Structure 1
Amino acid sequence: MSSAYLLISHGSRDQRPHLAMEKLAELVGAKLATRRVSWGVEGAEENYLYSRTSTSANANSAAPAVVTSSTGFPLVGTAILELAEVPLHEQIRQFASLALAAGYNQLQLLPVFLLPGVHVSEDIPAEVALAQQSLGGAIGLKLLPYLGAHPGLRSILASQLAGVETDAKILISHGTRRVGGNQPVEAMADYLGAVAAYFSVSPSLEEQIQVLAAAGYRQIVILPYFFFCGGITDAIAQMVAQIQLHSPKLRLSLGEPIGASAQLADLIVDLIEQK
């Protein structure tokens, strides 16, 4: 079955996450094209070039993009759940129509989300169902597991901490008030030998730093549990700077978000190829 692919992210008024998503789509497309070469598909050895077409967005957010190779394979796109001019189900319908016209008979959709919250468990499936209803049986839609569910994500985060000299580690996430909603963050923090802190709920970053400082830790690394840079990671950086200013005996170090990397693209391709 010939499939196109759509990566779905939350959406932001900050253009950096949208640009990162386009880069990630390019990386995924290149890896899928490389696999096509290994499968011996004719024409796959042509140079992998990209073209983009906007599906729409307001002036404050970058438009979802369509990324395709010079051979027409693979067709990889991005879409956003919120802050687009048209709802997600319409973005899916438009991209599916493009895929259908290009000869594809299936569209696989992968949520680029870290946690299994309401967006992943309810909002996106509902939008996919609306899109399928609109498309009828012309092309099949297949919703894949969200990216944060891939166990390989732990290795990417661990690699960011490898070789870093530190007494203690903090993993900071956005956080949620939903019962059990922060459990995956706590599990990831445990795996990394870190404690969890949250941007929007307790325990906050400042609270966790105070706890660690009271226990005698002085050199503390803070790792943002976010895919890409944006307004929240900027706010976290400002928090760290302020805490450092008022706590000169501490040595605080702030890491980078996960980022659009070849390693992250590998996880997406692995989810795509899982049966």
Structure 2
Amino acid sequence: MVFTSFKTTGEAMAIPPTIFPKKFRMDAYKKIIHSLPFAKVYLNTFISTIVTVVGQVVICTMAAYAFARLEFPGKNVIFIVILSILMVPGQIFLVPQYMVIMKMGLLDTLPALFLPNLFSAFGTFMMRQFFMTIPKELEEAAILDGCNQFQIFGRIMVPLVKSGLSALIIFTAKFAWNDFMWPLIVNTSPEKMTLGPSLSTLQGQYTTDYPAQMAGAVMAVIPMIVMFFVFQKQFVEGVAQSGIKG
């Protein structure tokens, strides 16, 4: 992908194929920046990813704490209903979500990209597993010290599940950054697209500018690679402690 982004179109489609370009050219990078509103698309992807991550961390963590540590009527039934979301293909929810966004008058807007993704059944389940490993004696000691539920949650429980939060942030950021189907359906303007759908427009019916497409892919994948290497320790630790493999 990296080497192809520095080739000419002829070199990219040569038979037999070559790995290294004859000369490293920046033409593909210049072309993609000028042919697409790349700065706007990049900004849209960043905003959508950050809002999705913050929303899921707040909502999923609070929901997971309630399911793991609190007692309320219908807790198990509600949790089973949430888990049932993981048992069906995500494409089933595309039409209902589209109808909701349309009735809210948010089609072809930036909020339409992240509103349906502010909650995650997977994130709730994963964080619940972390909260269930914490001894109840810590809560009992906090109650004796006069803490209420919000203080127990914010000051005691959340700091003890930092590895789980790191894993949730990485999973959510990866999903939001690479999301393709939903932005392609809900938004039509090039200025309101994210990286995935925007890069797909470079693929033609008969010919495809592979160097430009690979240049866009290189620029799109760099933030994810940087994030993984920065949080690699927390990511591995979080997945291992949660018991989620594969």
* TM-score of the aligned structures, taking structure 1 as reference length: 0.21
Q: Which has the larger radius of gyration?
A: 2
Bigger RCO of structures 1 and 2 (CA < 8 A, at least 6 apart) = 2
Q: Write 1 or 2 for the structure with the bigger share of helix.
A: 2
- Which structure shows the bigger proportion of residues in strand conformation? 1
* TM-score (structure 2 length as normaliser): 0.22
